[in-house]
Amino acid sequence: MNTIRTAMLLAAMTALFMGVGYLIGGSGGMMIAFLIAAGMNLFSYWNADKMVLRMHHAVEVDERNAPEYYGIVRDLAARAGLPMPKVYLIDNPQPNAFATGRNPQNAAVAATTGLLDRLSYEEVAAVMAHELAHVQNRDTLTMTITATLAGAISMLGNFAFFFGGNRDNNNPLGIVGVLVAMIVAPFAAMLVQMAISRTREYSADRRGAEICGNPLWLAAALDKIARSAERIHNPDAERNPATAHLFIINPLSGERMDNLFSTHPNTENRIAALQDMARQGVGGGGGGQGMSAPHEPQQPQAGGPWENAARPEAEAKPAKPRPGPWGRNPTGPKGPWS
């Protein structure tokens, strides 16, 4: 089904790309758009994951410079029976995460520094389990290809603004065709994101809860991420809105316009489904069967596992500076991206 879904999505995206090309330059523009789309489909299959990681300035880390974070992913991958993915970190205060890659053998997971700062060890584990569920369900190929092609369609719409509707009558609809292309382009990413069923998030939530062992950890994480995303700006996501559907919670500050065009299910509904799982005892629910943590709490904690990082500065207790979970000393600028 994932193969069929990917093929249908690629066909639909190619058709949309050709349609915009036709509106800009007639049959000649359509053929040029077809050739570009065919090349991009092939390129995206092999390189879309690298492009998305680059868009968000993700830096690869390992157990030397991010021991706790890397260890969480390693243990979860082993629990899920997955190959160890590449692990990336994004220097961004908004807590969020995504997975990418064309298959489990070539997968990568990425989390923001805000996620590590603001969530507990158990909540971070639950979020990364959700992302590994996407890898296991083979959602990542579809998600990364749509992000790349949606961005390309938006660029084509911008091209129409500057070069469409010229006087050689290549465009059969004239200025009307150009205007249609310009109107379609801003909504292209939204249409593509809608083409991917939002039920994949529920599926990844469920499987992620099973992998980490406690649905309530993921429920608590979703609540924290959703509340933080409303007030913490993510400039890279705003510049690349076609990648919004990759994240566990929509990172766009304007994405409150809501259900019809949302790329994610309602967070409250996701939390309710996870709480229902816990009541049914699915995934180890009570906390005793979940993934072990260094300090073994029974419930998700208010702060992150790195002491005062999640607290407001005024409330933080004085603490001896030490390297953060990604290898960065909190009193200095050094980090894996510096």
57 is an annotated ligand-binding site residue:
no
DSSP state of 85: P
Exactly one of 60, 63, 123, 131 is catalytic; name it: 131
Q: Please tell me the distance from the alpha carbon of residue 206 to that of residue 191, in angstroms, as a whole number.
A: 26
Integer CA distances (angstroms), 195 to 12, 27, 201, 261, 264, in order: 9, 26, 14, 11, 12
In terms of C-beta density within 10 A (0-12 exposed, 13-18 middle, 19 or more buried), how is residue 321 classed? Answer: exposed
Contact 128, 211 (CB under 8 A): no
* H or E stretch at 109: strand 107-112
60 flagged as catalytic: no
295 is an annotated ligand-binding site residue:
no
Under 8 Å CB-to-CB from 308, ≥6 apart: which residues? 316, 317, 319
134 is an annotated ligand-binding site residue:
yes
Contact 160, 68 (CB under 8 A): no
Q: Please tell me the distance from the alpha carbon of residue 285 to that of residue 87, in angstroms, as a whole number.
A: 27
Active site residues: 131
Binding site residue list? 130, 134, 201
Binding site residue list for Zn(2+)? 130, 134, 201
